[in-house]
Amino acid sequence: MTDIAALAAEAAAHWPQITAAPVLVMHRENTVFRVETSAGPHALRLHRPGYHSDAALRSELDWMAMLASAGMQVPAPAVAADGACLVTLRDPARRASLLSWLPGKPMGETRQPLAFAGTARTALFQQIGAQMARMHALADGWNLPAGFARPTWDSEGLIGDTPFWGPFWAIDASPEDLALLHSVRTRARPALARYVAEGADYGLIHADLVRENVLVDADHLHFIDFDDCGFGFRMFDIATTLLKNLDEPDADALQAALLHGYTQIRPLRPADLAMLDLFVVLRSLTYLGWAQSRPNDPGIKARAERFLTTAKRVIATRLG
């Protein structure tokens, strides 16, 4: 962590508007510091080495800048002294960026009950659906900058030989569980092929709108952490948010509210809605692939076991 602090100090020197030393907030995929600037608080990010190319990191920043300029409550990149939003540190593998700090608190935590009660729960999910639809609509109307590059969660990216988040069927599990995972992969192939053939709803997505990445600030919602954004099925984006509600007593009502909010802004066809259950299953399986690709992470074995339990439950309830 001493090295990380030194990297943060080096990164901060690239933005003359920063007026105070970085304060560590989070050390996960990226390392995030809060910094004070002449324009208010910002988030200084040290990007995880090797996860994304420079082109992909710049593309993430470009999309956030476009969404912020269109009035969406998302982090807006800040320009460094050299005129760029992405800077290279003395370590040639390290990159840094600076984003506006958004107010509010996460709407919840994974594996913890939602704190909202009564009609506030469905109202919140209706608002999430509407904001997600607006984000997708803005992406559809955007002329991508030259060199734009982000990961893809098309059929190959989800169930192909080398999915972006790792092969979920290659985890350390019992023969029975591995057979189940292989059977889901086999079932998903023709379903995705048919969906694509009939005009799948596909484009830029956030890909990780879990509870921690939706900030609630009074009547306003903010979407944060676009680190995993890319090209994918829009129903996959919706499925990501819904997956975390398995233990909520009103999970069906929350799903209905999110879809209602979404379709008030952007229509979904019956063919799109018919794919929702499969995409909830596929999103649960991406966590297994993610764990399989990080065998040395602390506590990964216990997390992988939880992910497998969740996936088996989702497969049983959503696919039968």
DSSP letter for each residue of the chain? -HHHHHHHHHHHTT-TTB-S--EEEEESSSEEEEEEETTEEEEEEEPPTTTS-HHHHHHHHHHHHHHHHTT--S--B---TTS-SEEE-SSTT-EEEEEEPPPSEES--TTS--S--THHHHHHHHHHHHHHHHHHHHHHT--PPTT----EESHHHHHSSS-TT--GGGSS--HHHHHHHHHHHHHHHHHHHHHHHT---EEEE-S---GGGEEEETTEEEE---TT-EEEEHHHHHHHHHHTTTT-TTHHHHHHHHHHHHHHHS---HHHHTTHHHHHHHHHHHHHHHHHT-TTSTTHHHHHHHHHHHHHHHIIIII-
CB of 17 closer than 8 Å to CB of 39: yes
Q: Supply the pLDDT for residue 296.
A: 84
Sketch out the chain's domains with CATH numbers.
2-101 (3.30.200.20), 106-319 (3.90.1200.10)
Q: Supply the pLDDT for residue 295.
A: 84
Q: Supply the pLDDT for residue 309.
A: 97
Q: Supply the pLDDT for residue 1.
A: 58
Query: Tens of pLDDT along the chain (320 residues)?
Result: 558 999 999 999 999 999 999 999 998 889 999 999 999 999 999 999 989 999 999 999 999 999 999 999 999 999 999 999 999 999 999 999 999 999 999 999 988 999 999 999 999 999 999 999 999 999 999 999 999 999 999 999 999 999 999 999 999 999 999 999 999 999 999 999 999 999 999 999 999 999 999 999 999 999 999 999 999 999 999 999 999 999 999 999 999 999 999 999 999 999 999 999 999 999 999 999 999 988 888 889 999 999 999 999 999 999 97
- In angstroms, what CA-CA distances link 155 with 159, 198, 238, 276, 309? 6, 14, 17, 15, 24
CB of 133 closer than 8 Å to CB of 262: yes
Q: Supply the pLDDT for residue 195.
A: 98
- In angstroms, what CA-CA distances link 216 with 44, 125, 205, 211, 288? 21, 11, 20, 10, 29
